[in-house]
């Protein structure tokens, strides 16, 4: 089959374009593709579904699970290493590594149990242990407000001192 030079250039262009598309697909779908980053993420909400901003999130490596890979020679032992985060105004948080007491990054080793604690003044703290395998682990949390039950007895005030008054001192007005 004979092509004119103009048609030959078009065929070459189409062949080059097809190769480029196939190579791009192989790079995206093949074994060399970029892997999902190792991290824990989540959302902190109140019982009504509203986001809780500025909550403190602590992630502490506890123990290796049964399927944990052995640490390489240069890897930092994550036992007791901690990652910290503060929730955004939308209640979101991210921890992508844990560090030991000296501040050395231990990464986010897969196969380990991590204790996650979420704290915000005015709410009950939340704590749980999760097994992290790899990629992105999403942990959403609902914090419940602290409440104190107060029984209203009306205008009853007990002014009795009884026999247990052992205090001494002087009460001066204005001081």
Query: What band does 171 get if pLDDT is binned at 50, 70 and 90?
Result: very low
Q: Which fold has domain 39-142?
A: Immunoglobulin-like (2.60.40)
Check residues 116 and 71 and name the one with the higher pLDDT.
116
Check residues 119 and 165 and name the one with the higher pLDDT.
119
0.95 exceeded by pTM: no
* Domain chopping of the chain, boundaries: 1-34, 39-142
Query: What band does 161 get if pLDDT is binned at 50, 70 and 90?
Result: low
pLDDT in the model for residue 107: 85
pLDDT score of 174 more than 90? no
Check: CB of residue 108 under 8 Å from CB of residue 40. yes
Q: How many CB atoms lie within 10 A of CB 107?
A: 14
Which of 33-64 are b and which e, b meaning 16 or more Cβ less than 10 Å from the residue's Cβ? eeeeebbbbbbbbbeeeeebeebbbbbbbbeb
pLDDT score of 62 more than 90? no
What average pLDDT does the structure give for the chain?
Answer: 77
pLDDT in the model for residue 142: 96
Structure confidence by residue, pLDDT tens digits, 7-41: 555 545 455 545 545 545 444 444 555 667 889 99
pLDDT in the model for residue 8: 54
Distance CA 131, CA 66 (A): 10
Query: Which of 28-32, 74-78, 149-153 has the highest mean predicted lDDT (pLDDT)?
Result: 74-78
pLDDT score of 149 more than 70? no
Least confident residue range of 1-10, 13-22, 65-74, 142-151: 13-22
Percent pLDDT > 70 in the chain is: 61
């Amino acid at each position: 089959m004979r092509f004119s030079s103009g048609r030959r250039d078009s065929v070459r262009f189409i062949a080059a374009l097809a190769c480029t598309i196939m190579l791009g697909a192989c790079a995206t779908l093949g074994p060399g593709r970029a892997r999902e980053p190792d991290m824990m993420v989540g959302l902190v909400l109140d019982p009504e579904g509203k986001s809780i901003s500025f909550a403190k999130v602590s992630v502490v490596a506890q123990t290796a699970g049964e399927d944990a890979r052995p640490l390489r020679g240069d890897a930092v032992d994550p036992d007791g290493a901690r990652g910290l985060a503060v929730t955004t105004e939308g209640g979101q948080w991210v921890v992508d590594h844990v560090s030991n007491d000296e501040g050395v990054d231990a990464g986010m080793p897969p196969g380990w149990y991590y204790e996650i604690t979420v704290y915000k003044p005015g709410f009950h703290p939340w704590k749980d242990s999760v097994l992290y395998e790899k990629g992105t682990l999403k942990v959403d949390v609902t914090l419940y407000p602290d409440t104190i039950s107060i029984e209203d007895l009306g205008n009853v005030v007990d002014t009795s001192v009884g026999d247990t008054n052992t205090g001494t001192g002087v009460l001066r007005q204005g001081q």
